[in-house]
Chain A
C-alpha cells in the first residue's frame, strides 16, 4: 500500500533578525531589533500519486528542504495545507511518523561511535518491528546496498558513501511507504552515487513506495524521476516531465561535429549558433524543427567527418530555468 502527497498553496515565511556588522550593529540589534521577512516557500501546490518518484530541483536556498520539512510535519506552514499518506503532517502524530522516512543528506541519525547495526536495532525497537520482519528487511537491504562488510564497523570509520548507505538502511527498516530524501548523494563519489540511485529505484519498484527526492545533482534526477518539480526563490516554476522541460525551455538541438580541413568558425555560423569550436570538433545549436534540414545542408556543403544530434545537457536547461530565462515557465508554466 503506497501513499500519496498533496500540497495546496504551501507557504512559509520566516522572520529573521537583521544585524549590522560590528559592535554598534550588535548593540543596535539588542535595543531595536530589525526583522526581515524571508519568503522561503510561496504558494506551492502539487500532487504526487502513490508510487511516483518525483525529483525536487532547485538551487541552494530555493525552498526544497523547507517544503520537505513541512511535508514531514517538522515545520508549520504560514498558510496552505498538505496531506501526506492521508494524514495532516502537523497533527498526524506517531502513526503518521511511522509511515515515512526522512533522510537528510547533511544530518545523520546513525550513532557515531557504534557500528550501524546498533542504530538498526534501536530503530527496530522504536518502530516496533517484529524480529521476522526485521531480519527479512535487513537481509534485503544488506544485499541491495552491499553492506555485508560495514555492519560491524563503527560509523566513524566508514566512508561517506558507506555511511549514506547505512543511513538509508536505518531509515527504511520499517518499510516506509513514503521516502523523503534530501540530498542523499551529497558529497559522494560517482560510484556511491550510482549505488544509491540504483537502490532508490529498486526500492520504489519493489515496494511501490512514493519518493520525493531533492538534489542539485541532475544525474540523480534524470536517473530516477520521470517527473520533476522545479523551485526557485520559494516559487514552483515547473511541474512536469523532465523531457518536456527541455523542449519548453530550450527548444533547440545540438549538432556535434567533427569537421575536415578548411572549415572555419565563420563558415559554421551560417548554419546555426556556434556554441563551441575546437577544431576538428564543433558544436552547433539549431532550432529543433530545423535540425534535419541543417544536418543535410552541413553534410552537403562542408567536409564533415562525423555528425551527431543531441538534446542540450539537462543541467544547462535547468540552469536557464533557475536564471529566470524561461519567463514562459512562470506564466502558467506549472502543469495542472
Chain B
C-alpha cells in the first residue's frame, strides 16, 4: 500500500463518518451543548468563588479563559470509542472488520478526525463569537503558542483516544469494558483538570496527577493555549510526559490487541 492508497482509505473512511454524522445532526448538537454546559457550569462556580479576588493566582478572567479553552480542547480530544469497540466485539460486528485487509483501528481514527474537524470548528466559531463581546476570554495573538497548543492538543487527543480504544478492546475478555471506562472517566474528572485547574487541587493530588496520563489529555494543552504553562522548562516537561504516555498507551494497545485477537481466536465471539 502506497501513501496515496492510505490517503484514499482515510478519505473514504472520513467521508463515511461524516455522512453518518449528518444523519444524526440533532444528537450531535445535543452532545455539543452538553460539552459546552459542563465547563460553563464549572466556570459559573469558580466565577462565584473568585469574586473580586484571586484563587491561587486565578482571577475571574483567568477562570473564563481556562474553561473556554477547556471546552474547546475537550471537544477536540473527546473519545467515545470504547462504546463502539465494546459493541463490535460483543455483537460480532468485529468479524467482517477482521476479515477485511484493514486494521479496525484505522476506522476509529478516521471517525475521530471526521467528527473533531467538524465540532472543533463549531467550537472555535462559538469562542470567537463570545470573545467578540467578552474580552475576558480573548487570547493574546501568539501564533507560536497556538502552534504549540495545536501540537499538545493532537498528542492529548491521541492519548485519550488510546485510553478509550484500549479499554474497549478489553471486551475481548470482559463484558464490563464500558463500566471500566466510566471509572476512568470519574477519576479523570478530577485529575485531568476538568473540575478545576490542577494547581488548585491539594498539592498531594496534583503531584500524583502530574505523573499520570490524565492532565496530558486535557489540562496541559489547555494551559499551553491560555499561556499558564509558559516557561521552556514547563513546556519541555509537559511534552515529554505527553510523548511518554503516548508511547506507553501505544504499547498497551499493541499488547491488548494482539492478546485480544488470540483470545478471540481461541474462544470466539
A interface residues, Cβ below 8 angstroms from B: 14-15, 66, 69, 72-76, 90, 93-95, 97-98, 100-102, 104, 106-109, 111, 113-114, 118-119, 121-128, 154
Contacts and interface: CB of A to CB of B under 8 A. Distances in A.
Main secondary structure of the interface of A (DSSP, over half): mixed
B1 A128 contact: yes
Contacts of B97: 109
Nearest to A16: B267
B106 to A, nearest CB: 9
Q: Is the interface of B mostly helix, strand, loop or mixed?
A: helix
Contact of B267 (A15, A100, A102): A15
A113 B1 contact: no
Given A14-B267, A107-B96, A128-B1, A98 B101 contact: yes
Given A113-B23, A125-B9, A125-B12, A74 B101 contact: no
Nearest to B268: A75
B233 interface: no
A289 B93 CA distance: 52
Interface stretch (B13-21, B112-120, B144-152, B162-170): B13-21
B101 A69 contact: no
A73 B94 CA distance: 13
A163 B93 CA distance: 16
B23 A95 contact: no
B12 A94 contact: no
Contact of B101 (A72, A119, A127): A127
Contacts, number: 88
Interface of B: 1, 5, 8-9, 11-13, 15-16, 19-20, 23-24, 91-93, 95-102, 262, 264-268
Contacts of A108: 96
Nearest to B4: A128
A118 B16 contact: yes
B84 to A, nearest CB: 13
B12 A126 contact: yes
A122 B98 contact: no
Contacts of A121: 12, 15-16
Given A75-B265, A98-B101, A125-B9, A104 B96 contact: yes
Given A114-B19, A114-B20, A121-B12, A107 B100 contact: no
Given A111-B16, A122-B16, A125-B9, A95 B95 contact: no
Contacts of B266: 75-76
Contacts of B8: 125, 128
A95 B268 contact: no
B27 to A, nearest CB: 12
B57 to A, nearest CB: 48
Given A76-B262, A113-B23, A122-B13, A94 B92 contact: no
B13 A114 contact: no
Nearest to B10: A125
A123 B20 CA distance: 16
A149 to B, nearest CB: 20
11 contacts: A15-B267, A69-B95, A69-B268, A101-B99, A107-B92, A107-B93, A114-B19, A121-B16, A122-B13, A125-B12, A127-B100
